[in-house]
């Protein structure tokens, strides 16, 4: 796809963060947008920004974990906007907890959104991209789809799964010679509210009241930069897009030390665990 002007893009998780920034950038470039989120206020704000660029905007409150709702939304978008050319499966949530403490219900909640949401978005819109005669699918994974870290097992599992699913999808479409590109996006720390709005299960030495805030201090890349990189990946039909210098470093670390990186993370986590244990010790 050489241009997004006049095309139609469907974006999940469009109420904030990367989803909002990508929707606004595409609209600024003349792309009509279909926006979904469970946050209706944020969704309305994004829609208003996009309409300011003179494009058609379709909005719907959709839970990406709901298969029937996603397929119904895809049909509505195709009918109302005439076609669908781009799909950006961006919606996601976070969970901080050890594997021992993670409840099955929390694991299912995260997987239903972060992994099944991508599957639903892909399968619901793929027939419409084929009907349009061209298209591109962007599935948002994470640097945590490249390396694993303590207290993020559920998130790691979902994002690793998105990576595998997306790469297999791209290969299948290429085998059939279809003009539909597929990109797996691996953002590093993006300045969004995903950590602040995450679920967490406190555990002494592992997950504390300041864990999310401490994690957010590592976020260095803006959503606008992420949106720009995503647009570039679409136009250049990249298989994979790293976002942020931290993502580049993480990817390099995993390539050079595919197992040793775990020892480095364990050493850092152990120091943090000891510090938290001391700070949370009532007798200290």
CA dist 189 → 122, 186, 280 (Å): 25, 10, 27
- The answer for residues whose C-beta is within 8 angstroms of residue 48's C-beta and 6 or more apart is none
Q: Are strands 135-140 and 180-187 parallel, antiparallel or unpaired?
A: parallel
34: nearest Cα among 54, 8, 66, 6: 8
Residue 155 is a catalytic residue: yes
Q: Which of 155, 160, 206, 261 is catalytic?
A: 155
Question: Across the strands, what pairs with 184?
Answer: 139, 240
d(CA 126, CA 165): 14
CA–centroid distance for 3 within its chain: 23
Residues taking part in catalysis: 155
């Amino acid at each position: 796809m050489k241009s997004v002007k006049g095309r139609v893009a469907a974006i999940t998780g469009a109420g904030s963060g990367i989803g909002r920034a990508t929707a606004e950038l595409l609209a600024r470039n003349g792309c009509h947008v279909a926006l979904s989120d469970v946050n209706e206020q944020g969704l309305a704000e994004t829609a208003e920004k996009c309409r300011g660029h003179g494009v058609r905007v379709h909005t719907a409150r959709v839970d990406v974990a709901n298969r029937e709702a996603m397929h119904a939304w895809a049909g509505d978008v195709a009918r109302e906007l005439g076609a669908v050319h781009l799909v950006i499966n961006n919606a996601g949530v976070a969970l901080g907890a050890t594997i021992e403490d993670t409840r099955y219900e929390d694991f299912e909640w995260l997987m239903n959104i972060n992994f099944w949401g991508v599957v639903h978005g892909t399968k619901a819109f793929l027939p419409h991209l084929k009907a349009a005669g061209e298209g591109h699918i962007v599935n948002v994974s994470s640097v945590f789809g490249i390396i694993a870290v303590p207290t993020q097992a559920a998130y790691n599992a979902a994002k690793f799964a998105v990576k595998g699913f997306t790469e297999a999808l791209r290969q299948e479409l290429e085998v059939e010679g279809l003009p539909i590109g597929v990109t797996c996006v691996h953002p590093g720390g993006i300045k969004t509210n995903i950590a602040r709005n995450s679920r967490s299960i406190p555990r002494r030495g592992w997950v504390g009241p300041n864990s999310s805030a401490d994690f957010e201090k590592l976020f260095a890349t803006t959503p606008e930069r992420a949106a720009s990189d995503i647009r570039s990946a679409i136009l250049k039909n990249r298989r994979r897009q790293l976002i942020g210098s931290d993502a580049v470093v993480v990817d390099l670390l995993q390539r050079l030390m595919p197992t040793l990186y775990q020892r480095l993370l364990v050493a850092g986590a152990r120091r943090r665990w000891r510090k938290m244990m001391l700070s949370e010790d009532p007798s200290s």
